[in-house]
Amino acid sequence: MATAADDDPVQNSSGVVAEVEEEETVTDEADEFTCCAHCAQLAQRQNEQRKAGQFCDLTLVFISGERVHSLSAHRSVLSAASHYFSQRLGEEDAPSGTLELRGWSSVGPDTMEAVVEFMYTGQICVTRANVHEVLELAHRFLLAHLKTFCGEFLMKRLTQTNCVLVHRLALTYSLDQLADGATTLIRRNFHKVIHSKEFCSLPFQLIRDWLSDSEIAVSSERELFEVIVRWVNCSLDEREKHFEEMFGLLRLTQLTPAYLTRVVRKESLVSNNAACRKLVTDALEVHAISLENLKLCDVGLYASYVMKFKPRFGQNMDIIMVVGGVSENGEHLSDCIGYFVAEDRWVNLPHIHNHHDGHAIAVTDNYVYVAGSMEPGFAKAVERYDPCNNTWESVSSLSTRKHSFGLACVQNALYSIGGHGNFSPGFKDVDVYKTDKDVWYSLDPAPQILRDVKTVVIEGRFVYIMARTPIDIEEDDGLRTVTICFDTQTNRWQEVASLPLIDSYCTFQMAVACSNFYNSASFCPKSYDVTNEEALQKISTSISEDILDSLPPEVITLEGASVCFLGEDIFVIGGWKANNSMDKQCRKEAYRYCAERKRWMLLPPMPQSRCRATACHVCVPYRYLHGDQTYPMPHNLTRQRDRFEHLQFLHRRTLTLRRQLQSQIEC
């Protein structure tokens, strides 16, 4: 029997409504579904339709001179992918079926196809060969992401050889970050960039801006003058009007009076311009009157020339760099100093990170390398100095702890030859360091032990070595001097009578070859461009000692000196003088042999005496040399020095307590 509630239709309908509302509340809890694969497949299918010509309602016609190339596409896709097409195709007078694109430089059909496909799929392959074409299309079609990617692609591959071209691209397409990176690289390598093929094609405004920049790296103002003349003569009729402005940006007081008179003044571009002649005359007057006298005579003229009289901050200055060594009290020296040739004074340079003592030194195209040490804890250490950034950094270590070995640069690779260990009679080892890979490789050993090695490199292949080797008979110190040639290509060794007497540097080495001065000194290796046949003709056992005539005799009695070269000139720095009491008196003196005058000159003394250091010639930007430069000691050496001083304090305290205890016992 049915109940009353079942018979009542009003009650039944309200219950059903309540159940439906409850079900609707449950169904409102929904999840969104996004299918990335669907989007990618959709884009891919649309691109396939474009290639097949299906549903295409637009034809792109690329016109470049006589070259015409057409592509089919969909108006809706291009408008959605590019704001450029959105505007062009949305205009009232927009073309219905064909859109002509004119004014292209040299974009190939493959690149056009690739960029249009990118607007469909978002994928493109950018290479060194097509990046400039892709960048042009991305800039024209307002494809911001693709344009940014091209800028990043070029930034990763920015080199000294392409920086000028990349800089022009960056300015053309408003890539500010890329332009800044290229500008920095051009500044640091401006002395090399000006010799590139692209330089003569650069516009006047760009060259003017660089000449106005005091941070550009240059070898000398003479080099800038010569490159300006060459640039103008490349298109004399169009560029002669710019010469006066560019000539005024040169720091003529950096040129010698002889060069100003004999070369600059006689250049037709200068002699035919009254303003340029006036600048040359003013520079000669400044040379004739010192700056101090000029300040007293004419304050205004002094103020106008004081900046031009100083080098540009980026100008590379000749420095004789002295690295490492020990002081008179036996303390290892981590600070580096340099003799500033142009200003005849010593300057501070950054500290090395290890205790290098009795180490080797070599100079490559971009770095100065030092390796080895008599200090066992640092005997494997290798560091390199970057003159452009004025910094030291550690690189791969030697395979053996050693000192007194040769380190020669051959084709930008370093050859470590021979050496001496604290508990070894010597080494035959020959290792090569690949600077681009930062890896040492072992080669076949030398035919005999080689210690106290000195080297010169011929023809970028042959290493001439003078060293000492142990002998069986006990004569003197049991060592015999040998001269040997190593062929780096065939790994063959051949004994020769002497080093090739190519210039004063080799002659000086042979003149002192049989002395303790030579055996204990460090000689920076030198490379020569002469052929090996010419070098062999220079070998001789008849050695003239005329080069020693004006050198004080006591210099040859020194030990542990540092010897290097600058062109034909020779530098002898530091060392110690052994007394009868066996005390070693370290020296501060430095001497320079002037090849032009054929005489030795005494230089200003070093700030601190040192011996067993190394020295070399390096070009350092003026920004790191002006004023009083100071550099902190590395943290690892600071901690080691503090520990050593603490041990010395404890030792002195122990001795004091022992003496006090002994005196008490005696009492």
- What would the DSSP string read from start to end of 203-247? -HHHHHHHHT-TTS-BS-HHHHHHHHHHHHHHTHHHHHHHHHHHH
Q: Which helix (H) or strand (E) holds 487?
A: strand 479-487
User: Do the beta carbons of residue 84 and residue 141 sit within 8 Å?
Assistant: yes
Do 307 and 406 reside in the same domain of the chain?
Answer: no
Do 138 and 284 reside in the same domain of the chain?
Answer: no
Residue 531 inside a domain? The answer is: yes
Percent of the chain scored above 90 by pLDDT? 54
Which neighbouring-strand residues pair with 348? 337
Extended beta strands in 65-158, E state: 67-73, 98-102
Residue 10 CA, chain-centre distance (Å), reads: 94
Residue 170 inside a domain? The answer is: no
Do 418 and 502 reside in the same domain of the chain?
Answer: yes
Q: What is the pLDDT of residues 105-128, one digit of tens each?
A: 667 888 888 999 999 999 999 999
Instruction: Name the residue with higher pLDDT: 278 or 298.
Output: 278
Residue 304 inside a domain? The answer is: yes
Tokens coding 329: 């009290």
Domain count, the chain: 3
Do 543 and 589 reside in the same domain of the chain?
Answer: yes
Q: What is the pLDDT of residues 182-228, one digit of tens each?
A: 988 988 888 888 888 888 888 899 899 889 988 898 988 999 999 99
User: Do the beta carbons of residue 488 and residue 454 sit within 8 Å?
Assistant: no
Residue 487 inside a domain? The answer is: yes
pLDDT value at residue 5? 46
Task: Say how many C-beta atoms besides its own lie within 10 A of residue 381's C-beta.
Answer: 22
Instruction: Write out the DSSP string of 493-535.
Output: EEE-SS----SHHHHHHHHTTTSHHHHHSEE--EEE-S-HHHH
pLDDT value at residue 628? 81
Of 298, 314, 330, the one marking the end of a domain is: 314
Cα–Cα separations (whole angstroms), residue 541 to 323, 499, 511: 33, 9, 10
Residue 129 inside a domain? The answer is: yes
Q: What is the pLDDT of residues 589-643, one digit of tens each?
A: 999 999 999 999 999 999 999 999 999 999 999 999 988 888 877 766 666 666 6
Do 217 and 251 reside in the same domain of the chain?
Answer: yes
Tokens coding 290: 């010192």
pLDDT value at residue 27? 56
Dihedral in degrees, nearest 10, Cα atoms 569, 573, 577, 583: -170
User: Structural domain of residue 547, as residue ranges?
Assistant: 316-638
Percent of the chain scored above 70 by pLDDT? 87
pLDDT value at residue 192? 87
pLDDT value at residue 24? 56
- Return the biggest CA–CA distance within the chain: 143
Do 418 and 542 reside in the same domain of the chain?
Answer: yes
Extended beta strands in 27-112, E state: 58-64, 67-73, 98-102
User: Do the beta carbons of residue 364 and residue 414 sit within 8 Å?
Assistant: yes
Instruction: Name the residue with higher pLDDT: 473 or 326.
Output: 326
Q: What is the pLDDT of residues 142-161, one digit of tens each?
A: 999 999 999 999 999 998 88
| Among 201, 262, 267, CA closest to 231 | 201
pLDDT band at 298 (very low <50, low <70, confident <90, very high): low
Strand 599-602 and strand 614-621: the pairing is unpaired
Do 305 and 336 reside in the same domain of the chain?
Answer: no
Q: Looking at the predicted structure, is the pLDDT value of residue 436 above 50?
A: yes
User: Do the beta carbons of residue 452 and residue 404 sit within 8 Å?
Assistant: yes
pLDDT band at 400 (very low <50, low <70, confident <90, very high): very high
Do 606 and 547 reside in the same domain of the chain?
Answer: yes
Number of H helices, E strands in the chain: 24, 27
Task: Say how many C-beta atoms besides its own lie within 10 A of residue 69's C-beta.
Answer: 17
Do 304 and 417 reside in the same domain of the chain?
Answer: no
Do 361 and 263 reside in the same domain of the chain?
Answer: no
Tell me the C-alpha distance between 20 and 212, whole Å: 83
Angle at 328 between CA 327 and CA 331, to 5 degrees: 45
Which neighbouring-strand residues pair with 71? 60
pLDDT band at 294 (very low <50, low <70, confident <90, very high): low
Instruction: Name the residue with higher pLDDT: 1 or 369.
Output: 369
Residue 645 inside a domain? The answer is: no
Q: Looking at the predicted structure, is the pLDDT value of residue 383 above 60?
A: yes
Of 282, 314, 346, the one marking the end of a domain is: 314
Task: Say how many C-beta atoms besides its own lie within 10 A of residue 395's C-beta.
Answer: 17
Tell me the C-alpha distance between 369 and 355, whole Å: 14
Tokens coding 439: 């890896």
Dihedral class, residue 325 (left if φ above 0, else alpha if ψ from -120 to 50, else beta): left
Do 223 and 363 reside in the same domain of the chain?
Answer: no
Provide the 3-class DSSP secondary structure of residue 31: coil
User: Do the beta carbons of residue 362 and residue 409 sit within 8 Å?
Assistant: yes
Mean pLDDT score across all residues of the chain: 87
pLDDT band at 407 (very low <50, low <70, confident <90, very high): very high
Provide the 3-class DSSP secondary structure of residue 330: coil
Of 156, 180, 200, the one marking the end of a domain is: 156
Q: What is the mean pLDDT of residues 53-63?
A: 85
Which neighbouring-strand residues pair with 480? 469
Do 70 and 199 reside in the same domain of the chain?
Answer: no
Cα–Cα separations (whole angstroms), residue 36 to 41, 42, 50, 80: 9, 10, 21, 18
Cα–Cα separations (whole angstroms), residue 613 to 206, 302, 381, 386, 400: 45, 42, 15, 19, 20
Asked which of 441-455, 535-549, 596-610, 639-653 is least confident by mean pLDDT, the reply is 639-653
Residue 301 maps to which CATH number?
A: 1.25.40.420
Tell me the C-alpha distance between 544 and 512, whole Å: 11
Residue 536 maps to which CATH number?
A: 2.120.10.80
Strand 569-573 and strand 590-594: the pairing is antiparallel
Provide the 3-class DSSP secondary structure of residue 578: strand
Residue 118 inside a domain? The answer is: yes
Instruction: Write out the DSSP string of 460-472.
Output: TTEEEEEEEEE-S
Provide the 3-class DSSP secondary structure of residue 166: helix
Cα–Cα separations (whole angstroms), residue 48 to 52, 57, 108, 478, 622: 6, 15, 21, 84, 61
